[in-house]
Amino acid sequence: MEILSPTQMHLADLQYLDYKGVASVDLMENAALALKAELITRFSKDSVFQILCGTGNNGGDGLALARLLKADGYNVEVEIFRFSQKTSEDFTINFKRLKESSISFHEYKNCNDFFLYPGAIIIDALFGIGLSRPLEGEWLQVIQKVNAGDNTVVSVDLPSGLLCENISSLEVIEADITLTFERLKLCFFFKESAPFIGEIKIVSIGLNQKFIGSFKDHETIELSDAKLLHKKREKFGHKGTYGHALIIAGSEGKMGAAVLASKSCIHGGAGLVTALVPGKGLNIIQTAVPEVMAFPGGEGYEIEYITSLEQFDAVGVGPGLGTFKKAEKLLSQILKLVSSPIVLDADALNIISANKKLLKLLPKNSVLTPHPGEFKRLVGDFNNSYEAFQKLKEFCKTYSVVTVLKGANSIVCTPEGKCFFNTTGNPGMATAGSGDVLTGLITSLLAQGYTPVNAACLGVFLHGLSGDISATEISEEALTAGKMIENIGKTFLAIR
């Protein structure tokens, strides 16, 4: 599903108005009807709706909503905050309609006399996606009063004070429910927005879905997308059909990472999986994952060398590798030997962070899978999720790589800077070895012939879905990386 910017939403509005030959105030009526339909399914007839309106189009939505709710017999109180002389044309039209009705309303030049009705459902129609800077002055006092109350708060399109494409100030309406128009907005995917948005429900206001579908800058990864990406198995396929993957991982005390990545890789559908491990870890990998072939890259507790990569269709390197001098030399050797995209995670990324010259050796379209700390070491410091997001796009464009920035909504960014936000996963996945599972899964898909972008998108979706299935079976608290591997098979059944 597309994620819309304020500009794209405005274009979709204009396209609708031009195609239908109607005025923008008629589209505002559509929005109010959609909001009313959602509200009356959630709240009883004896509810009191206290609708807080700014003087822009978001406020106009609130005024139109008030009129429609009142017409249906609901109790409505309207609060209009006139902290500036600016009003939108459609707000003015709906204010005139409001005055012609029997609805009670109050206007405020400051917020001194404003108060919340006990038990009222607060409808936040102060500001929408057009807000481009943090709120200040009287607006902050309004927000503080709303947030200090214990009323249920429903925000129209966005919680007021939240910036659609940036990080807001701390003063934002803390909504219990956000009813957003047509599509999700970028700010919903930032960690800093989580305390404000509550439950998100998309409501359609009648815009052209095909036109909206033409906006492909940023999208979510949904079940329907995973089903389209998934390649069906061939009836006469054999091991060679599904690729030979190599996992390069492990060091003293970290052989578990090699086991998890290798096991995930074989469960991900690769025809053959080989693990390159330290000599003293060979017995561990062969005992723990008998389906995986293994060979030593030295005699001790570190992988020291590799001679050839020609027989492998995909390579994943980094889990538990260590950041010793020998590991650094090994990674440099690998990057000089490989000619096709590879998957780099964990210590491979840490080595690159300490030796930025290695970035120039990365094959185009290679897949990097950093968590925020590893990403910060790669690109430098950032203060918030939005800054990290901007650096992510810049990094992928600069080095022509695919990067999975792991998190609550893992982001897959392409070399062109297009971003896909994953919709599966849960907090229980914040556990040791979870990243190793993802590395093995993406490497497996890459070996099977998926493009690097598709392997990353399908990989993060299946990884998160496996975590979700596991959490329903044993709880988020008890979730382990090993349990996620056990459930990879169920994720493939879900996308058939």
User: Using one digit for the tens of pLDDT, what is the confidence trace for 226-257?
Assistant: 999 999 999 998 988 999 999 999 999 999 99
**168 confidence band (pLDDT: 50, 70, 90):** low
User: Of residues 102 and 126, which shows the higher confidence score?
Assistant: 126
pLDDT at 171 over 70: yes
- Residue-level pLDDT at 134: 84
- Please state, in angstroms and rounded to a whole number, the distance separating the CA atoms of residues 1 and 13: 18
pLDDT tens readout for residues 406-422: 999 999 999 999 999 99
pLDDT classification of 454: cutoffs 50, 70, 90: very high
CATH number of 223-494: 3.40.1190.20
Q: Give me the pLDDT at residue 65, please.
A: 97
Specify the pLDDT at position 102.
83
DSSP 8-state code for residue 358: G
Q: Find the mean pLDDT for residues 119-135.
A: 92
Helix (H, G, I), strand (E, B) or coil at 379: helix
Alpha carbon of 156 to those of 43, 126, 195, 431: distances in Å? 16, 8, 16, 36
- Region 264-276 average pLDDT: 98
| 6-216: CATH number | 3.40.50.10260
Q: Residue 2 above 90 pLDDT?
A: yes
Report the pLDDT averaged over residues 85-113: 91
Q: Is 381's pLDDT higher than 80?
A: yes
The mean pLDDT value for 465-475 works out to 98
- Between the CA atoms of 420, 424, 427 and 428, what dihedral angle is there, to the nearest 10 degrees? -130
Q: Which of 210-214, 392-396, 445-449, 484-488 has the lowest mean pLDDT?
A: 210-214
Hey, what are 158's tokens?
């966005």
Tell me the two tokens of residue 375: 């990403």
Residue 442 corresponds to which tokens in the numbers above? Answer: 């993406």
Q: Is the pLDDT at 88 greater than 80, yes or no? A: yes
Helix axes 57-71 and 24-42, enclosed angle (nearest 10)? 60
> How deeply is 239 buried, as exposed, middle or buried, from its count of CB atoms within 10 A (0-12, 13-18, 19+)?
exposed
DSSP designation for 74: -
Average model confidence (pLDDT) across the chain: 95
The token pair that represents 13 in the structure block: 């509005």
At 41, the pLDDT band (50, 70, 90 cuts) reads very high
pLDDT of 170 above 80: no
Taken in order 266, 272, 275, 281, is the CA torsion positive or negative?
positive
What integer is the mean pLDDT of 94-115?
Answer: 91
Mean predicted confidence (pLDDT) in 274-279: 96
Common-topology check for domains 6-216 and 223-494:
no
Whether the pLDDT of residue 85 is over 90: the answer is no
Q: What is the mean pLDDT of residues 8-23?
A: 92
105: β partners:
78
Domain residues of the chain, as ranges? 6-216, 223-494
Name the burial class of residue 279, with classes exposed (0-12), middle (13-18) and buried (19+) by CB atoms within 10 angstroms of its CB. Answer: middle
Burial 329-349 (b: 16+ CB within 10 A, else e): ebbbebbeebeebbbbbbbbb
Binning pLDDT at 50, 70 and 90, where does residue 490 land? very high
